Amino acid sequence: MEVLRPQLIRLGGRIYRKNPIQEQTYQHEEEDEDFCQGFMECAEEPCDAYEVVQTQQGFRCTVKAPSLLYKHIVGKRGDTRKKLEVETKTSISIPKPGQEGEIVITGQHRSGVISARTRIDVLLLTFRRKQPFTHFLAFFLNEVEVQERFLKFQEEVLEKCSMDHGVDSSIFQNPRKLHLTIGMLVLLSEQEIQQTCEMLQQCKKEFIDDISGGKPLEVEMAGIEYMNDDPGMVDVLYAKVHMKDGSNRLQELVNRVLERFQASGLIVKEWNSVKLHATVMNTLFRKDPNAEGRYNLYTADGKYIFKERESFDGRNILKLFENFYFGTLKLNSIHISQRFTVDSFGNYASCGQIDFS
């Protein structure tokens, strides 16, 4: 992270700068209180978006958070909470580990309560980003025709390009797991899964039905492309997906879903649009058939994972199969898929979905 381009965190319609000074030191829970110090200064400005209730004793504000993140507000020996309470002149009540509930902030001064709430939100967002992704929004692309064509693609690539560096059967996607990802999610409780289901239903009512016309979107999966800028050193090769009628409806739909989920905080804002692609080859599959590309970044306790990977030479594949046709599909459902799980059909297990028709 560059000092002159620090990470920006969006909270309640405002943008805060996160000081990167302590970022590289975080390894264990014991260092939470040190990590907290690095960005406290960025969270001082009062935010009118918070609901603060006046009581007989002063002011009160509540924060909803999954129990998995409580420890980051408490800190080692309670030091993080104590520091927050002292500097904001508030009292912070946190549910016991394993219990779901609300974090309650009380204080004599409204500005102090708001300051504590802002700092807690920054802590929660920062450590939420340290959690591995648990779910993702996606279209399934595993219709029988597409699976058969994908297996034909794999067969022909291995027949014609197996002598190219790094090309072997281990780096191909499981045909039953072909999908188009809209966005990655960190859902840490049943309440957050339910919130995601409700958000999808809102999207359906507000714009999906209008864009889809209440019918499945007919798309073609054709042509291949690679992610990086060197065709001789490829890690991810994907098939392109586009509307059969040549319209931009699919791109518009997924972009608006992404925008809505980013605004709600359920998806971290990284891009302004969805890159429509279906991964067909990924070098992470070489050592771990269940790996999922760039999304394997952190363990549950926030430690960064370095995934060593052996790239493959994709030049011949790109030349020979540039316009390979995988088939047509009717996209009728957006799924909330759970990582590292499979259903009875061998696809990712779905925790919820909306249907277009």
Task: Report residue 94's pLDDT band, with 50, 70 and 90 as the boundaries.
Answer: very high
Residue-wise DSSP of 99-146: ---EEEEEES-HHHHHHHHHHHHHHHHHHHTTSPP-EEEEEE---HHH
Task: Report residue 266's pLDDT band, with 50, 70 and 90 as the boundaries.
Answer: confident
pTM: 0.77
Q: Looking at per-residue confidence, does 232 or 291 come out higher?
A: 232
Q: What is the pLDDT of residue 232?
A: 96
Structure tokens at 43: 């969270």
The domain made up of 50-130 is a member of CATH 3.40.50.2000:
no
pLDDT per residue over 35-70, tens digit each? 445 444 444 445 567 899 999 999 999 999 999 999
pLDDT per residue over 158-182, tens digit each? 999 999 999 999 999 999 999 999 9
Nearest of 35, 3, 6, 210 to residue 119 by alpha carbon: 35
Q: What is the pLDDT of residue 305?
A: 53
What average pLDDT does range 207-221 have in this prediction?
97
* Domain assignments of the chain as residue spans, ordered by start: 50-130, 135-355
Q: Looking at per-residue confidence, does 291 or 115 come out higher?
A: 115
- What Rg, from alpha-carbon coordinates, does the chain have? 23
Q: Looking at per-residue confidence, does 296 or 181 come out higher?
A: 181
The domain made up of 135-355 is a member of CATH 3.90.1140.10:
yes
Domains 50-130 and 135-355 share a fold: no
